[in-house]
Amino acid sequence: MVGERYEVEVGPVAHGGGHCVARHEGRVLFVRHALPGERVVALVTEGTTKSRFLRADAVEILEPAKDRITPPCPFSGPGKCGGCDWQHVSPGGQRKLKVQVLTEQLAKLAGLTPAEASWDGSIEPVGGKLPAGQVPAWRTRVQYAVDPETGKVGLRKHRSHEIQPIDRCLIAAEGVTELGIEGRDWPGVVSVEVIAASGSSDRQVVLTPAPGAQLPLVELDKPVSITRVDDQGNVHRVHGRSFVRERAAGRTWRISNGGFWQIHPEAPDTLVDAVLDGLDPQWGENALDLYCGVGLFAGALADRVGDDGAVLGIESAKQAVIDARHNLAALDNVRIECDRVETLLPRTGITATDLIVLDPPRAGAGRETVEHLVGLSARRIAYVACDPAALARDLAFFREGGYRPVSLRAFDLFPMTHHFECVAILEPVE
């Protein structure tokens, strides 16, 4: 089955993976490097005669869609780098595909039309619209894999441990590119993660050595801090700072040991603005910031609710909690606790609050957490989501609990990929 070629008509875009749905003799194919409405030759890359579906790449375009362009990146295409899903699609075409994905997930999992979700049906570009063929250099964090035979870096192929050697990643931010990672040898190293803060000149390289290997002497084109990851996943400072400094929402933020921070330089302020606009925090209100990371939303809420209000942040990553407490140390109205949201929140004794922000991991919050949140009778809830399916599923849970979306915005924070970010604002049904 793998290696066979089928001529197919390409159907709608599917959620996740940057693929579209096609059929051949009744069997579903998930086809990458294709676009809805095209006729292509699809090369099967995964699946057997017993598989419910097959995965494939479009290796020949017989009838192209109008949004198709020549991929600007030479490492994009069938069998090459798996990082960018839609280098072959115009910027406007990419947003249209994301609109289709979000529309489908809302309908299928939440039973909501765009109008019922209070969504205007657009994916908002961030950083201005781009002409076709121009690639925005937005990614401030890039994790390279190292070929053990050559010591050269590359990026993983789609659904594979194989490495595509590269000499430059087009979506990498200038701060990443300027270090010259691709031009160096990395003997004894498994991966090289580069972090280029957009809010400062801080640059950090996180190295994962092969078992028993010594770290190479690192000489890069710009000043940089070096950390390493041991066999247990712990991060250790080798040279320079163990953190980078970012600037957003009127503050400087410390993010240590490669911890989570939005990778598009405009994402933190974009999301904070959307959350604050939707919640409209008032002086003296109480708020929860769940899955709070290094405290971005907690800090923004604390400024709005003032000394008469209070914000409780909950985060399970210990280093992120340490950073959040450092970042917000000057705010007496903020408390940050370390534990899993679903474990700690019921133990806090909080029975009501005014506002809630939740920014869960890709899997979403889930029924149990949503049921607890709706019992707190919040005036408004802001749900920040990186996965439209998890968001739609949780919106259905919120609706069961008596909350409805009064605003939904979607932001194109990850151009050239299938990913996007959403902010939903929920209110109790009257």
- Residue positions in the annotated binding site for S-adenosyl-L-methionine? 262, 291, 315, 359
Question: Quick check: helix, strand or coil at residue 41?
Answer: strand
Written as one string, the DSSP assignment of 345-376 is GGGS-----SEEEE---TT---HHHHHHHHTT
Written as one string, the DSSP assignment of 88-134 is TB-HHHHHHHHHHHHHHHIIIII---TTTTTB-S--EESS----TT-
Q: What span, in angstroms and rounded, lies between the C-alpha atoms of 151 and 174?
A: 23
**Residue 112 CA, distance from chain mean position:** 24
84 catalytically annotated: no
**Residues whose CB is less than 8 angstroms from the CB of residue 48 and which lie 6 or more positions away in sequence, other chains included:** 1, 2
- Is 130 exposed, middle or buried (CB count within 10 Å of its CB: 0-12, 13-18, 19+)? middle
Parallel, antiparallel, or unpaired for β 163-165 and 39-46? unpaired
Q: What span, in angstroms and rounded, lies between the C-alpha atoms of 198 and 264?
A: 9
Binding-site residue ranges: 262, 291, 315, 359
Q: Which residues are catalytic?
A: 386
